[in-house]
Amino acid sequence: MTTLEMLLEALKVYEIEVIAIEGTRVTLQNNYEVEVEKNQLYKLMESGYIIAPFADLNELCRFIIDA
């Protein structure tokens, strides 16, 4: 399973809506985007601004839900 596939599966489990997938960038609900980096890092952005990098998909998904 690729890093992108793991992200998409986690988003599905947490019921976070995926708007679009473009290369390594996934556009989500509420103006969020996640860019898949090397070494299983996920860069969370909102309206083009970097919020934080995440190595843990559960932590990333909980952050999106709680925001």
Q: From first to last of its 67 residues, what are the pLDDT tens digits of the chain?
A: 899 999 999 999 999 999 999 999 999 988 999 999 988 899 999 988 999 999 999 999 999 999 8
Distance separating alpha carbons of residues 39 and 53, to the nearest angstrom = 12
- Count other C-beta atoms under 10 Å from residue 62's C-beta: 13
Q: What are the structural domain ranges in the chain?
A: 3-66
Which pTM does this prediction carry? 0.91
